[in-house]
Structure 1
Amino acid sequence: MSIKVLVVDDSALIREVLTRMLSRDGDIEVVDTATDPIDARQKIKDLNPDVVTLDIEMPNMNGLQFLEKLMRLRPTPVIMVSTLTKKGASETLLALELGAVDFVAKPSAEFAGGIEAFGVGLREKIRAAAKSDVRGRSASRAEPPKLAVKTAAAPNGALIAIGASTGGVEAIRAVLSQMPADCPPIVIAQHMPPGFTGRFAARLDEVCAIKVIEAEDRMPLLPGHAYVAKGDFHLRVERSSGQLKCRLTQDELTSGHRPSVDILFESVAKTVGNMAVGAILTGMGRDGARGLKLMRDAGAYTVGQSKSSALVYGMPRVAFEEGAVVEQAPVEDIASRLANALVRLKSAA
């Protein structure tokens, strides 16, 4: 059965491009298009689409206002169609916090890889969105945030590694917001294009006790800091002059991604070994499973987000099936599981 999609955009050209791209493989059907949220509201009621693509800047009602109402009154998987600007990045991240499943950058003549690559990525995200559990997440969003966990002054050389994809913006925030200011360094690979990771780090920094920044090459890894892999760069951890540091490279895509969670986790397994703890969170595909298995084999504690709390149970499922995780846990418990593992490391030391 095909996935029913409603395309909402005030640009006739974008509506035409999205419709053509989505209809390419035959498993996705654009049941209609809408020019603004007022038009979309009635069509969502009449057509009950599986997924909605939504522009942010539209007449009559801002896309963010419409998204907030939609997720409150009729939770539906939404893919945002965003502009690659600083303002566009901020609004897109807000949309993900409001409940959008994922986003794509608006296609343009300069689109890296061309319009065909854009279409492939868009269709993958629509398929993932159709399987996502937005109703379950919408209900859980009302839960009050937990108090910060205690890491009991983890031993020197300890490190936390986190990887995520679709749904990861909210999942990473749920984990990092519980981390205390004295926690070990945290390295993060979140699938996100250039122009968005810096803003993502800045938004996390606003709500966390720790300092969250976009990683730069050769940057030392300090306690109480989290480092987000830069869009279109792999992030590795290396040891130089006795200190753990970030290493950024632009070598080939791994597991279909740059940054790749596998690349990050593999470097952590090699460089930090049993002094690391790792978590794989919501996301489609299998990136991270191989690297997390290497971390576990090296003696690290590893945890995967549980199916019940993952927006897209793809990456955590593969990691679980391949024996890469010690245990699975709801996203709201992952920070405490990581903290407990660090306490055990301290005791062993």
Structure 2
Amino acid sequence: MFVKIIAVCLSVVLVFSFNAQEDTTSIKQDSLDGDPNIIPVFTVSADELESESQSQDVSGILQSSRDVYTSIAGFNFSAARYRFRGYSSENTQLMMNGIPMNDRESGWAIWAYWGGLNDVTRYPENRQGISSAQMGFGNIGGFSNIDLRPTNLRKGTKISYALTNRTYRQRAIITHSTGLMDNGWAFAFSGAFRYSQEGYVSGSSFNGGSYFGSAMKKLNSKHAVTLAAFGAPTVQARQGISVQEAYTLTGDNFYNPYWGWQSNGDGTDSTKRNARVRDNHKPHVFLMHDFKISKKKKLTTVAYGMFGKTSNSNLNWYEAPDPRPDYYRYLPSYNTIENPSIAA
């Protein structure tokens, strides 16, 4: 058992980890031996295997890159504030076992669909820019492919608990992998929980869980079948932006106009509520068949399905005063122009 204390710029994270893992990695991937034109996938050291990546809002290029600048920028500012070469997320090709995972409508790479599954998604195959890869040709913003086979996870059990001052306050993860057993079966499971009654931004809360399960049966030396599924049900009270005047009046650079006090009809104390709450849960299911044709050829067939819901709440009013606290008519600057006597 060991204790790690990590302090990185804007974040302070305390992590307790308990590991019962072997020192070998049970990754079963066939390489195209002898072809000098294949660009190799990056490798990691034993120290890097033990490292923790706390941010789940950044792309795989930022997560897994050992480059100092992109690692620091990705950890501290996330993809919401830092973009590789200025490209938005629709220019990043995100795949899982060869299936494109970018949103079908917006084209965005939405990592929140599997948020919290750090142990499962930590080491994807990555490419910067347009270049050849096992499952595609990349994109101008980069390329990432996550392998969901249970043999891709290290054999053993890992339990971790973290305290953080970011979007959520607490996080717990448990992951177990059997590796490929003598009977040809391999199983991997992971579950996570993230919670915050209120984040560092007033009125924001976070309540999220995530789960992952994968089972593989090696039928013989040429055929293997894998069934994998994951999901991340999350309810998050969101934060919004406002005008500089509102930040100055409140004296708070993290002022959030989305929350307020709602009066209770029974006369009890008012309830603190957020008007913008996002509720998201979209499970993904994969059925894969691997056929090893020869040492240099392999055929992978994948059937994939996604279902679930995403909802967003908002204020609505009709023939009533605007309830938003930072509505421009309520600010002193409006009265200064329209009604100087009131402003004075």
State the TM-score bracket (shorter-chain normalisation). Answer: under 0.3
More strand by share: 2
TM-score w.r.t. the length of structure 2 is 0.24
Larger radius of gyration: 2
